[in-house]
Structure 1
Amino acid sequence: MKFVAFERTKQGTGASRRLRNAGKTTGIVYGGTAEPQAIELDHNALWHALKKEAFHSSILEMELAGQTSKVVLRDVQYHPFKQLVLHVDFQRVDDKTKIHLKVPLHFEGAENSQAVKVEGCTVTPLLHELDVVCMPSQLPEFIKVDLSQLNSKSTLGVQSIKLPSGVKAVLRGSNKNPALISIKLPEVVVDAAAAAAPAAAPAKKGKK
């Protein structure tokens, strides 16, 4: 994905406010061998780009002062209640240096699994993205998780994901195989009136 940024010469709270009033958003690009560069972007174009999943998890091409460089989105600051982007951070990407980024997980095939189709289970994703480290050229836009073989007793953790070549998951904490999904069996509905009704009394035998 490509976007256009402009050099920002004036900084400070007042300058940022004037830029926002003019439909611009402040930002900074850092990393690599160059010094951090203050930038500004068109707010509306940025707002629409941020709605796209790929803008958060892909290598982006930033055009700045007639030069194009590769960057990744690192941070976004939103206004607490207005539909307004206050600031964005980008990091330069070096083709020879590994990057650490969150990649979306796309769960597919649950509706065709035995767990859902036959056993009536509800399958709920517990993780929606995965921390990975890889070379920029190997960064996937998303990672597919196949759920078509699930049954009600299945357990599926991060270690079950088939990662693309060169991509390694980054797991923190003691749990090295956190669950990806939860599988809930259908609730058994009991008719309260039927459950409360006394058993029918046995018929009495008549006298001979």
Structure 2
Amino acid sequence: MAKQHDIQAEIRGTEGKGASRRLRRDGNVPAVLYGAKQDAQAIQLTHKNAMLYAAHEWFYSSIMHMQINGAVQKVLLRDIQRHPFKPTIMHLDFQRVSETEKLRLSVPLHFLNQEKSPAGKLAGVTITHELNEVDIYCLPKDIPEALEVDLSELKLNEIIHLSDVKLPEGVSIPALKLGKEHDLAIVIAKEIKEQEEIAPAADAAAVPASAVKAPAKGAAPAKGAAAKGAAPAKGAAPAKGAAPAKGAAGKK
């Protein structure tokens, strides 16, 4: 039997952006409650309670019993707005639940026995979870807290699809009615490919010019190489077309 989850709220007297800002400054979260063929109602929760509720998985996928000024209503969270960078909840949307009307909602996937599976026991194998939640359609009384996916028989190169998930009675997955292309993979077991090794010859050819060291400052030039701007060796004829050295007399 699913555990009952109780949350606290109060009727909100004023609406509008200015009123919402004042609520937040006072440590409250503005919210709205709608559905079940009734008028929408402005409500509020304390920010402290909202943060406590939001830390639990059931807050996002379970029917909750909301106590509002002494009355209790069954509700489902439909939207949560958070501050872009502060750990703050800005607004909440709740939907009233009718026991006779089916609902579409997301529930989490719980993966079991992965480490016991044949694929999980192999070295060099990675098991990826492509989905962590799935949309279902059912009456409120049939809503599961989560769908369990047993991976105890998962083998290498095997894929588990949405259609492989065992559903409780009265629960369906709407996506499966749209065709085979919507039967998404939720678990994949594949071998990790090693990176290709680069041949040593290729490494040598790829050495950048900047990596080649220049001769040390003051070092003699290599044998047979003339230093830039150096005078010709004693007794050597000047290079063809070269001007005589400064101060040198021309041969008479």
Q: Report the TM-score range of the alignment, normalised by the length of the smaller protein.
A: 0.7 to 0.9
Please tell me the residue identity of whatever aligns with 1:176.
H
SS in structure 2 opposite 1:52? coil
Letter in 1 for 2:25: N
Give the drift of 1:23: 0.4
Moved more, 110-119 or 166-175: 166-175
Task: Name 2:133's counterpart in structure 1.
Answer: 129
The match for 1:201 is none
Offset, 1:130:
0.6
Partner residue, 1:187: 193
Aligned partner of 1:157 in structure 2 is 161
CA contact (8 A) 1:119 1:152 kept: no
Q: CA deviation at 1:169?
A: 0.5
Mind listing any 5+ residue stretches in structure 2 that lack a counterpart? 203-252
- 8 Å CA contact 2:8–2:67 kept in 1: the answer is yes
Greater CA drift, 111-120 or 59-68: 111-120
Alignment partner of 1:115: what SS?
coil
Deviations 1:119-169 (A, max 9, x none): 541101001101000010000000000111011131210000000110000
Matched, 1:21 2:38: no
* Counterpart-to-counterpart distance in 2, 1:190 and 1:56: 44
Tell me which residue corresponds to 1:200: none
Equivalent of residue 176 in structure 1, options 175, 178, 182 = 182
Q: Secondary structure at the match of 2:182?
A: coil
Query: What is the CA-CA distance between 1:15 and the residue it aligns to?
Result: 0.8
Q: Which of 30, 40, 47 is the equivalent residue of 1:43?
A: 47
Question: Could you say which residue in structure 2 is the equivalent of 1:166?
Answer: 170
Aligned length in residues: 196
1:68 and 1:188 mapped to 2: Cα distance?
58
Q: Write the distance in 2 (CA, Å) between the matches of 1:81 and 1:189.
A: 38
| Cα distance in 2 between the residues matched to 1:104 and 1:83 | 23
Q: Is the 8 A contact 1:97 1:135 kept in 2?
A: yes
Task: Please show how residues 65-144 of structure 1 align to structure 2 within 5 Å.
Answer: 65-118=69-122, 120-144=124-148
Match of 2:8 in 1: 4
Instruction: Kindly provide the CA deviation profile for residues 81-117 of structure 1, in whole angstroms up to 9, marking residues without a partner as x.
Output: 1111110000000011111110000111111111120
Q: Structure 1: which amino acid aligns with 2:191?
A: L
Match of 1:63 among 60, 67, 75: 67
Question: After the TM superposition, which of the residue ranges 67-76 and 117-126 deviates more from structure 2?
Answer: 117-126
Q: Give 4+ residue runs of structure 1 displaced > 4 Å after superposition.
A: 188-194
C-alpha separation in 1, matches of 2:184 and 2:198? 39
User: Does the aligned pair in 2 maintain the 1:106–1:145 contact within 8 Å?
Assistant: yes
Q: Which amino acid aligns with 1:180?
A: I
* Residue identity matched to 2:58: A
Larger radius of gyration: 2
Cα RMSD (Å):
2.0
Higher relative contact order (CA closer than 8 Å, sequence separation 6+): 1
Distance 1:119 1:4 in 2: 49
2:24 is paired with a residue whose SS is helix
* Alpha-carbon shift at residue 182 of structure 1 (Å): 2.2
Structure 1: distance between partners of 2:67 and 2:170: 28
Instruction: Give the letter for the 1:146 counterpart.
Output: D
Question: TM-score, with normalisation over the residues of structure 2?
Answer: 0.73
Matched residue SS, 1:49: helix
CA distance in 2, matches of 1:188, 1:56: 40
| Conserved? CA contact 2:154–2:189, under 8 Å | no
Q: What is the one-letter code of the residue matched to 2:140?
A: P
Percent of pairs identical after alignment? Answer: 39
Q: Is the 8 A contact 2:102 2:140 kept in 1?
A: yes
